Amino acid sequence: MIKKSLVKAFHIIWKTVAGFVLLVGLYLLSAWILSSIHIDGEPGNAEVTLYLQTNGVHTDIIVPASNELINWNNYFPHKYNRNSDSTSKYLALGLGDKEFYLETPTWGDLTIPTAFNAAFGLGSGVLHATYYREIRVDEQCIAIQASKAQYKELIQYIQESLLLNSNGEYINIKTEALYGNSDAFYEAKWKYSMFHTCNTWVNNALQRAKLKACFWTPFDWGLFGVYE
């Protein structure tokens, strides 16, 4: 009787592990196939320089802090940064899971519940906004040329990604879990999940602006592969 119970338990465990491995494999295969399908952007004048920046996992899209189309300083006030310097020329924006961003400063702090909630979209989304004085182009940061019309579409996409308070302002998240002296977090409409990652958010932004993009990608290498 005990032997049969052990065999049955083994089969259940084996099927569970095999099913999990199969799902992970299908996810990775789908990501590879769909990331390899590139969508051509519409030709336009090189009027606005944008950047894609990765840390090897997470991608930010970097826009001018201010130009004739929009002054982001009015939407992401420097008063929420530790450094209130308003002379920065660039603004990096990236989507993330709220709990992951604010409670996981290092990979060593990552817990199974946090990873599970982030993977399956059970948490809240946040937009991380970081100001930079200079941008250096290298293997982890590439420049993209866009027309003013394309940038207008990107602006609208960014604005539609954020929640507003009763005064029509982006909702700043009060936290000490900042990454530096010039960044802040804001409540986002979009939830992070394994199907809608930070890289998916950026890829959707490029699609919205009619710039070159992947069909779908949850990983940064899909985005950078488009612009190699």
Alpha-carbon gap, residue 138 to 207, rounded angstroms: 23
Provide the domain count of the chain. 1
| Distance spanning both ends of the chain, measured CA to CA | 61
Does 20 fall in a domain? Answer: no
Does 29 fall in a domain? Answer: no
Residue span of the structural domain in which 50 resides: 37-226
Does 189 fall in a domain? Answer: yes
**Tokens 């992947």 -> residue:** 214
Does 56 fall in a domain? Answer: yes
pLDDT at 10: 58
pLDDT tens for the 228 residues of the chain, in order: 666 665 665 556 655 665 556 677 888 898 899 999 999 999 878 999 999 999 998 999 999 999 999 999 999 999 999 987 788 999 999 999 988 888 876 666 767 777 777 777 777 899 999 999 999 999 999 999 999 999 999 999 999 999 999 999 999 999 988 989 999 999 999 888 999 999 999 999 999 999 999 999 999 999 999 987
Please state at what angle helix 148-160 crosses helix 198-208, rounded to 10 degrees.
140
Does 21 fall in a domain? Answer: no
Evaluated on CA atoms 67, 42, 162, 159, the torsion sign reads positive
Does 24 fall in a domain? Answer: no
Q: What length is written for the chain?
A: 228
Alpha-carbon gap, residue 19 to 39, rounded angstroms: 33
pLDDT at 147: 97
Alpha-carbon gap, residue 24 to 141, rounded angstroms: 29
pLDDT at 106: 67
pLDDT at 118: 75
Does 11 fall in a domain? Answer: no
